[in-house]
């Protein structure tokens, strides 16, 4: 039986938006930031997006043009990863993977320059405009940008539904650790489930 079935059903009874995090070419293709699992979860993410196109919001992580344009520790970060600054990389790699890009529009796209999509306020304003009270969160990576999105959603008062089979990371260990953390410490605000359950209830 899927985890938290009754809680998932209760959360999805509220106005819901699917937040798909950073399913971009630079994480899918053969780069130093490749997330190997992405190809495995992509078909399930694609099914969720296709299920409710107008209720989907994609995020994209957009690096600075140069490391010097980034703030604080981000400057040091992009000095280390200078090949991912927009001055050096193929900017097409910031685009969504083709399987998902075809859905936008009507799906919306929100760009961000840090891990959390809530940093600028643009996403929260969009969600408030739609009356969203629950977020289904999918995408990459479980232990980086998805983590920031989930914690931002919790802080903003959204109920969070996490289909664990539509999340991906570069490492099994930290992925599993985050899933356990969500389950043990945030069970009032986060419902763990799977894609089939979401499709049947939403």
Q: What is the pLDDT of residues 47-102, one digit of tens each?
A: 999 999 999 999 999 999 999 999 999 999 999 999 999 999 999 999 999 999 99
Strand (E) or helix (H) holding 109: strand 108-112
Contacts by 188-191, CB closer than 8 A, 24 or more apart: 189/154, 189/159, 189/160, 190/150, 190/154, 190/160, 190/161, 190/162, 191/3, 191/4, 191/7, 191/8, 191/11, 191/159, 191/160, 191/161, 191/162
User: How far is residue 166's CA from residue 200's CA, in Å, rounded to a whole number?
Assistant: 15
Q: What is the pLDDT of residue 3?
A: 67
Residue 34 DSSP SS3: coil
pLDDT of residue 1 exceeding 80: no
Q: By the 8 A CB rule, do 18 and 167 touch? A: no
Q: What is the pLDDT of residue 129?
A: 94
Contacts of 183 (CB under 8 A, 6+ apart): 3, 190, 192
User: How far is residue 153's CA from residue 145's CA, in Å, rounded to a whole number?
Assistant: 12
| Model pLDDT for residues 59-69, shown as the tens digit of each residue | 999 999 999 99
Burial of 194 (0-12, 13-18, 19+ CB in 10 A): middle
User: How far is residue 41's CA from residue 116's CA, in Å, rounded to a whole number?
Assistant: 21
Which of the pair, 4 or 15, is modelled with greater confidence?
15
What percentage of the chain has pLDDT greater than the value 70? 99
Contacts of 75 (CB under 8 A, 6+ apart): 67, 68
User: How far is residue 73's CA from residue 26's CA, in Å, rounded to a whole number?
Assistant: 22
| Model pLDDT for residues 105-135, shown as the tens digit of each residue | 999 999 999 999 999 889 999 999 999 999 9
**What mean pLDDT comes out for the span 24-43?**
95
- Take residue 134 and report the two structure tokens written for it: 């629950």
Contacts of 157 (CB under 8 A, 6+ apart): none
Q: Which of 134, 184, 179 is nearest to 159 (CA)?
A: 134
Domains and CATH numbers, the chain: 5-59+93-201 (3.40.50.850)
């Amino acid at each position: 039986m899927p985890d938290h079935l009754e809680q998932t059903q209760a959360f999805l009874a509220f106005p819901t938006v699917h937040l798909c995090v950073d399913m971009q070419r630079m994480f899918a293709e053969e780069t130093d930031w490749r997330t190997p699992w992405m190809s495995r979860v992509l078909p399930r993410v694609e099914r969720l997006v296709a299920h409710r196109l107008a209720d989907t919001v994609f995020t994209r992580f957009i690096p600075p043009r140069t490391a010097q344009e980034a703030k604080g520790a981000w400057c040091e970060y992009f000095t280390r990863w200078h090949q991912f600054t927009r001055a050096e990389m193929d900017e097409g790699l910031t685009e969504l993977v083709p399987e998902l890009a075809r859905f936008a529009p009507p799906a919306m796209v929100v760009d961000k320059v840090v891990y959390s999509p809530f940093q600028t306020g643009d996403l929260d304003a969009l969600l408030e405009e739609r009356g969203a009270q629950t977020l289904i969160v999918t995408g990459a990576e479980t232990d980086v940008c998805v983590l920031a999105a989930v914690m931002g959603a919790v802080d903003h008062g959204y109920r969070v539904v996490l289909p664990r089979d539509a999340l991906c990371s570069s490492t099994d260990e930290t992925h599993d650790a985050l899933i356990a953390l969500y389950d043990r410490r945030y069970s009032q605000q986060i419902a763990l489930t799977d894609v089939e359950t979401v499709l049947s209830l939403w």
